[in-house]
């Protein structure tokens, strides 16, 4: 059975248990050493977290353009998504975890450990920051861009027809995470020291 069929079958066949944010979902699964599937609607599709004996071991994102497995599936999670939990026998779920295993849990852990930060616009040292995504000097629209600091997603946006994504952040150093249409993720370090900065990133 394909992994997408397995996920749909198990989610539809089991009773929903709770509606939880990421940090609460992890605590819920860990407290009871539960095995099962956490699923959340993310607008463009659904994200599935596969738990085995209380630990998030696998991840799958399914949307109209395809399926993303493992680490890439969790990379752009904001931490505010609401998950339902569906129990599955741990021996059964283990075979599917092999197809979508999470190797780097640092992003997932950092998101679960705290609520999403709020950028205080009244703070001094806050600047507007624009990212322009180009390929062969041609602006790229519809590209997912997020700004991260120490594992936390500070903000996310989708590029305009001019290839631009807009953020307002505190001055400092960040990782700019770009996911292109082929689901390839690139990370670029950026430093924001003043307002009105525009950074052009070539993804060709």
User: Angle of helix 90-97 relative to helix 3-13, nearest 10 degrees?
Assistant: 150
- What predicted TM-score, i.e. pTM, was given to this entire model? 0.59
Asked if residue 196 belongs to a domain, the reply is yes
Residues 85 and 158 occupy one common structural domain: no
- 8 A C-beta contact, residue 60 and residue 51: no
Asked if residue 76 belongs to a domain, the reply is yes
CATH number at residue 136: 2.60.40.10
Q: What is the pLDDT of residues 8-37, one digit of tens each?
A: 999 888 766 668 888 899 999 999 899 999
Q: Provide the domain count of the chain.
A: 2
φ, ψ at 59 (rounded to 5°)? -150, 140
Radius of gyration for the chain, computed over Cα atoms and rounded to the nearest angstrom: 18
Rounded CA separation 103/93 (Å): 17
Domain range enclosing 48: 3-112
Asked if residue 58 belongs to a domain, the reply is yes
The residue from 67, 89, 112 where one domain ends is 112
Residues 30 and 103 occupy one common structural domain: yes
Report the chain's mean pLDDT, rounded to a whole number: 82
Residues 7 and 89 occupy one common structural domain: yes
Q: What is the pLDDT of residues 69-104, one digit of tens each?
A: 888 788 777 778 899 999 999 889 998 998 888 887
Asked if residue 117 belongs to a domain, the reply is no
């Amino acid at each position: 059975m394909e992994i997408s069929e397995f996920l749909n079958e198990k989610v539809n066949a089991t009773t929903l248990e709770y509606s939880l944010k990421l940090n609460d979902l992890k605590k819920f699964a860990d407290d009871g050493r539960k095995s099962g599937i956490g699923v959340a609607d993310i607008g463009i599709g659904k994200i599935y977290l596969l738990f085995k004996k209380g630990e998030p071991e696998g991840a799958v994102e399914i949307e109209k353009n395809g399926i993303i497995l493992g680490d890439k599936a969790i990379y752009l999670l904001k931490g505010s998504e609401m998950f339902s939990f569906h129990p599955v026998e741990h021996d059964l779920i283990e075979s599917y975890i092999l197809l979508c295993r999470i190797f780097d849990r640092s992003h997932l852990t950092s998101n679960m450990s705290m609520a999403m930060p709020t950028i205080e616009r009244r703070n001094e040292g806050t600047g507007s920051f624009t990212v322009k995504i180009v390929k062969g000097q041609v602006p790229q629209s519809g590209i997912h861009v997020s700004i991260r600091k120490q594992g936390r997603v500070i903000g996310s946006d989708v590029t305009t027809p001019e290839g631009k994504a807009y953020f307002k952040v505190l001055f400092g150093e960040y990782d700019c995470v770009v996911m292109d249409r082929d689901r390839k993720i690139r990370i670029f370090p950026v430093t924001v020291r003043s307002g009105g900065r525009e950074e052009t990133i070539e993804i060709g």
